[in-house]
Amino acid sequence: MIRFIISFLSIIISYTIYCQTNNDSKKYELIGALQTNDHQIISYKIVFYEKENGQIEGESITDFYGENNTRSKITGKIDKTKKTISFKEVNNISTISKADQNTFCYVHVENITITLIKDKIIIQGEFVGKFKDGKSCVNGTIYLVSASVLELLNDDKLAKKKSKIDTTNLDLSNIQQLLDNNKELRSNDVLTLNWNSKKLTLIVWDSFKEDKDIVSIYLNDKLFKENLEIKEARQTFEIPLSERVSVIKIVALSEGISPPNTMNAILRDGKLNYPVITQLKKGQSVKIELKKQ
């Protein structure tokens, strides 16, 4: 679900779409964004199973790296003959938003065209937002793609279809750069960022369930923060950067009650924000290299 008053997100996160068999149902995962008519962009993800007669059930996740992270139940239908999908959010499953429940706006989509390119899926169309009582709240465009579509950006077949599917300013050609700047980091991953500021503002929190995940943070192999428990409330640290290349290392000390160790973070370089999420087992680590311009 989305909040009418949700703050603008300047990035969209696109990862993976896949399907698999589970209890004779196909599972789909689509990730992309909602763009409201007032030009707000909100990260959005749907995960659902296709059941008999094209019926679908699953959940949506809105603002999945942010302070309004919300999971909602969705129901709908896929029409394979017409190549369309319809679904709506019917209720909250969970949320970390502090907003009044009456301000939440449920996404409804009706008969959006499914575009297939080399068995990869692109979904783009209009959505209608409704409050729980059915009154309209905000409308816009929903845009869901597969990360593997990025491999096809230079493909002639995609180039011919792009003009038909890319009707918003969410340009497919920009998705690769956006993906590069917004990472899910796992064991031994290294993220390299060009940096302008003399400091790093590091904001960390747990956007899912607070479950006593603990990390230690190192700056250039020197301990900066030891035994840091990742909480629902955001914690902010100012890290001075004196070297031309500074390396931030995050080590998981505990996986908490619900493994793995999951930490959301924003790396702030002046007015630029780089969101990341780490997924680590106990003892695993990731590195972030900041190269001064």
One pLDDT digit (tens) per residue for the chain, 293 residues? 444 333 323 333 333 333 433 445 677 878 778 878 876 777 788 888 988 889 999 999 887 666 677 889 999 999 988 989 999 999 998 887 777 878 899 999 999 988 876 666 788 889 999 998 999 999 988 888 764 444 444 444 444 444 444 434 444 444 444 444 446 789 999 989 889 999 999 999 886 678 899 999 999 999 999 999 999 888 999 999 999 999 999 999 999 888 899 898 888 888 777 778 898 999 999 999 999 98
The answer to whether the pTM exceeds 0.95 is no
User: What stretches of the chain adopt beta strand conformation (E)?
Assistant: 2-3, 19-22, 25-36, 41-50, 55-62, 70-79, 84-95, 104-117, 120-130, 136-145, 183-185, 190-195, 199-205, 214-219, 222-229, 235-240, 245-254, 261-269, 272-280, 285-292
CA separation for the pair 156, 147 (Å, rounded): 18
What pLDDT is stored for residue 243 in this prediction?
A: 95
What pLDDT is stored for residue 200 in this prediction?
A: 96
Domain 2-180 belongs to what topology?
Lipocalin (2.40.128)
CA separation for the pair 56, 61 (Å, rounded): 16
- Show contacts of 68-75: CB within 8 Å, 24+ apart: 68/3, 68/6, 68/95, 68/96, 68/97, 68/99, 69/95, 69/96, 69/97, 69/207, 69/208, 70/1, 70/94, 70/95, 70/96, 70/97, 70/104, 71/95, 72/1, 72/106, 72/107, 74/46, 74/48
Q: Where in the chain is the domain with CATH 2.40.128?
A: 2-180
* Cis amide leading into 260 (omega within 30): yes
What pLDDT is stored for residue 153 in this prediction?
A: 40
